[in-house]
Amino acid sequence: MKGGYFYGLCKSAQISKMTMRKNTKLFLHLKKWLEKAVLDYSMIAEGDRVLIGVSGGADSYALLDLLDSQMIFVPRFSFVAVNIDMGFDKEFVAYRELEKYFQEHQYPHVMEKTDIGLLSHSDFNRKNPCFLCSRLRRKRIFEIADEKGCNKIAFAHHRDDIIETLLINMFYGREISTMMPNQSIFGGKLHIIRPFAYLREELIKKFSRERQFPMVKNACPSSENSKRIFVKQLLNDLQRHNPDIRQNIFKAMSHVKPDYLPGLPKK
């Protein structure tokens, strides 16, 4: 496969890239917890082909960068990066920056320009633009995964995203649920994996600054006033009174006591 990175077959090239990257303390810390999450939740198996979602934001750049490095415990796998442009940026500044980055690093990739974002924020869908936007984007990513022979899709959702999603679903969806580190879909034909499940957002952002990724501001009109932003600000306020609030919520998801939840009333 031209342009593909199959770990173990390009060992000398990997070592060269690792040397250029410089193994900083932060890089090694993130790699350690990424690999631990991958192993704990059996995210990647020998010979997997992974489609890595890259939006052009700090988190997705970091995920691509870290997965494109020599693994210690993770089995060998190949990958393809994917970017779905939502149509907000009429000048395609972010699109061109990301395309240049993929080409400079010789990453196998798929990029598409769409009007998904504009459609989702149009007059007929003002009530819940984020839901439709996410649904249409995911649908296209699933199709690309099938076209490229990928059995795993990796997203850069981190620990903070998992915590925030739990609260969003409780506050607005009236259910107790969140993102799963390894989610089986389509009867097990495809899995969504989140290798950053153990990592804090602030460390990923710090790493992105350290690596000087060519990030571009999110042009989505809902990016500054979404439900997620509200929940994030709420957690920041709570953290001033309890520094462990996020860690406690994350651990609570592993300590569920069904016997102490009311459930539905018996008929």
Q: Which residues contact 188 (CB under 8 A, 6 or more apart)?
A: none
Residue 263 in this model has a pLDDT that exceeds 70: yes
* Res. 127: pLDDT tops 80: no
E-strand ranges in the chain read 48-53, 77-85, 109-113, 152-154, 182-185, 190-193
Which range, of 4-18, 26-40, 54-68, 250-264, averages the lowest pLDDT?
A: 4-18
Q: Are 94 and 219 in contact (CB under 8 A)?
A: yes
Two tokens, residue 149: 């022979």
pLDDT score for 21: 59
Residue 95: which H helix or E strand, with range? Answer: helix 93-104
| Integer CA distances (angstroms), 62 to 14, 69, 148, in order | 17, 11, 22
Using one digit for the tens of pLDDT, what is the confidence trace for 145-187?
999 999 999 999 999 999 999 999 999 999 999 999 999 999 9
Other C-beta atoms closer than 10 Å to the C-beta of 225 total 9
**Selected residue with higher pLDDT from 214 and 199:** 199
CA distance 126 to 124: 6
pTM: 0.88
Q: List alpha helices for 111-200, DSSP H.
A: 116-120, 129-147, 159-173
Domains in the chain, ordered, with CATH? 16-220 (3.40.50.620)
**pLDDT band at residue 40 under the 50/70/90 scheme:** very high
